[in-house]
Amino acid sequence: MQKIIPFLWFDGKAEEAANFYTSLFTNSKIVNVARYGEAGPGAKGTAISVTFELAGQRFIALNGGPQFKFSEATSFLINCETQPEVDDLWEKLSLGGEKGRCGWLKDKYGLSWQVIPTALGDLLQDKDAKKSHRAMQAMLQMDKIDIARLRQAANQE
């Protein structure tokens, strides 16, 4: 059993969000949906909470109401191996949401994500400080991270 599970508070969209997220990642599924019965307080049959997995990582989504909103103080970083993976997740997650700088976005539910290619970490940790600096400067100019542009900038003399 996973020791720490991210618990996400939604305003009536927990099941919709869980279905959306599980559609984006391989090795993902809805594990359980707890629904209101006759006693409420929600409408009978609507989801109270949804347990789901994204890429094998367990999450719980709660329909908690409008009291709390997501903020950029908490985000989920997605390690992407290829540019097509970055492109696909960037477009799908930002649809109806808000694209930000340096690989950050908010999805249509207000949850923040970082869509980051593993190549970025490699370039930023390069032993050549000048190369690393050039990669950082290039990244700071981007919204969606472009691996080819990062590599090109890092390798300029």
CATH architecture of the domain formed by 70-157: Roll (3.10)
Does position 157 have pLDDT exceeding 80, yes or no?
no
User: What are the tens digits of pLDDT across the range 49-82?
Assistant: 999 999 999 999 999 999 999 999 999 999 999 9
Rounded distance, CA 96 to CA 75, Å? 17
Q: Where in the chain is the domain with CATH 3.30.720.100?
A: 1-68
- In whole angstroms, what is the distance from residue 64 CA to residue 100 CA? 27
Measuring CA to CA, how many Å separate 20 from each of 23, 33, 51, 82, 92?
5, 14, 13, 22, 10
Residue for token pair 């900038």: 153
CATH 3.10.180.10: which residues of the chain?
A: 70-157
What pLDDT, in 10s, does the model give residues 16-56? 999 999 999 999 999 999 999 998 788 899 999 999 999 99
Going by CATH, does the domain composed of 1-68 fall within 3.30.720.100? yes
Q: Read off the pLDDT of residues 100-134 as tens digits, 9 standing for 90 and up.
A: 999 999 999 999 999 999 999 999 999 999 999 99
